Amino acid sequence: MVAPKDLPLQELYAPGHRLCAGCGPSISVRMALKAARGPTVVVNSTGCVEVSTTIFPYTAWRIPWVHALFENTPAVASGLEYAYEALEKRGARKGKVDIIALGGDGGTFDIGIQALSGMLERGHDIVYICYDNEAYMNTGIQRSGATPRGAATTTSPAGKVIPGKRGGKKDLAAICAGHGIKYTATASIGFFTDYIDKVRKAIEVDGPAVVHVLAPCPLGWRSSPADTIKLAKMAVQTGIFPIYEVVDGKYRMSLKPGKLLPVEEYFKLQGRFSHLLRPEFKEELEEINREIEGNYRRILGLAGEQVA
């Protein structure tokens, strides 16, 4: 694993953008670009990162960057890849370009999943990074297919009878790995050297690769900006967001399985889960706990490991 002291000092993602203090997605972008290996182009879907990094005439991107629409980032990236190849064949340009397609959870899990599936199936040499802040934050915290069960958002509010989002998070890694791609990984900005390593591996893979990175959002999670990295770690340590790789179909845990932290500790730091700690939703909390553990065991099983 890369040591922090060996990370490049060069910042391809400049300061001065307008994302919130303590913004996890912003950190995820800065770190991803530390993994760049050479000439790189980023295609970015509509969402917090896009709207807050490029307000015209400014830009925080020191490498070529394209925003097209909310749901078509994988297709636009595919077009760039084909164009570079075609132009190279004709002698109109030279040299490999690494293409990173970057989308939020809404742009990836929901509205853009068809375009992503097409990109993976066609086998483009593109790294897709989904920064997952577990809701549509740019439009004001609405639920997405990545919002975890029980979380309150503006469209899955914690009411008197319904305690936040119904249904859980889609298994994005399995969906992507199911396309038979060589490399899929989940990561967390809380374990940033692991995350940067994964982005680099994804870049080095010939063909499509996906990195799904958890990136807390203080505004939407109603947490302290100072707790962003802490929460990103706890999500992994509670088992709610296990981190692993799927290499050529084989699962491998990124951390040695240890005893899971109680999920209540994680929930306590976030306003979006506060209702679950109230007595009337005790059963819901128990159910969530069972689901988290069940899912964690399932992933461990896929990786051929046992709960400690």
Partner 1 sequence: MYRRGGVFTGEGVIPYTGEGSTVTAGSAVCTQIGCAYTGNEAVAYAAKQCNVDVVAAYPITPQTIIVERFSDYVANGEVDTKFMYVESEHSAMSACVGASLAGARVFTSTASQGLALMHEVMYLASGLRTPIVMGVVNRALSAPINIHGDHSDMMGSRDCGWIQLFAENAQEAYDLTIQAFKIAEDPAVQLPVAVNLDGYTVSHATENMKSLTDEDVARFLPPRKPIFKVDPSTPISVGGMALPEYYYEIKRQQEEALRQSRHVVKRVGKEYGDLTGRRYGFMEAYAMEDAQAAVISLGSTCGTVRSVAKRLRAKGKKVGAIKLWMYRPFPAEELISAIKGLKALAVMDRAISFGAPYGALCSDISSSLQNTEVKLKVLNMIYGLGGRDIPPATVERVYRDVLQAARTGKVEERVMFLDVRE
Ligand X SMILES: Cc1ncc(C[n+]2csc(CCOP(=O)(O)OP(=O)(O)O)c2C)c(N)n1
Summarize as ranges the residues that interact with Mg ion (CB under 5 A): 104-105, 133, 137
CA-to-CA distance for 174 and 221, rounded, in angstroms? Answer: 25
Footprint on residues 64-83 left by ligand SF4 (CB under 6 A) = none
- End-to-end, the C-alpha distance of the chain in Å comes to 23
Rounded to whole angstroms, how far apart are CA atoms 179 and 125?
A: 14
Which position's Cβ is nearest Mg ion? 104
Closer residue to ligand X, CB minimum distance, 208 or 216? 216
Rounded to whole angstroms, the Cα distance separating 174 from 113 reads 13
Rule CB under 8 A: say whether 197 interacts with partner 1: no
139 contacts which partner out of Mg ion, partner 1, ligand X, none, CB within 5 to 8 A by kind?
ligand X
Cβ–Cβ under 8 Å, residues 298 and 249:
no
- Decide if 137 contacts 99 (C-beta within 8 A): no
Burial per residue of 93-103, b for 16 or more beta-carbon CB atoms within 10 angstroms, e otherwise: eeeebbbbbbb
Which of the residues 36 through 55 are near ligand X (CB under 6 A)? 46-49
Interacting residues of 37 by C-beta distance below 8 A, sequence separation 6+: 98, 200, 203, 204
DSSP-assigned beta bridge partners for residue 195: none
Q: Is 25 in the site for ligand X (CB under 6 A)?
A: yes
Q: Is 255 in the site for partner 1 (CB under 8 A)?
A: no
The span of 156-164, 184-192, 214-222, 253-261 binding ligand SF4 (CB under 6 A) equals 214-222
CB of 97 to partner 1, least distance (A): 6
Residues 6 or more apart whose CB falls under 8 angstroms from that of 204 comprise: 37
| C-alpha distance from residue 43 to each of 71, 103, 131, 150, 271 (Å) | 12, 8, 13, 32, 32
Interface pick for ligand X out of 24, 104, 150, 164 (rule CB under 6 A) = 104
Pick the piece of the chain touching partner 1 (CB under 8 A) from 38-46, 166-174, 182-190, 269-277. 38-46
Per-residue binding string, partner 1, 105-124, x by CB under 8 A, is ---------xx-xx--xx--
Does 219 interact with ligand SF4 (rule: CB under 6 A)?
yes
The region of 84-92, 202-210, 222-230, 232-240 touching partner 1 under the rule CB under 8 A is 84-92
Restricted to residues 137-176, the positions that interact with ligand X (CB under 6 A) are: 137-139, 144
Give min distance, CB of 80 to partner 1, in A.
Answer: 4
CB distance 41 to 76 below 8 Å: no
Q: Which residues bind ligand SF4 (CB under 6 A)?
A: 19-20, 23, 25, 48, 52, 133, 137, 217-220
Q: Which residues bind ligand X (CB under 6 A)?
A: 25, 46-49, 70-71, 103-107, 133, 136-139, 144
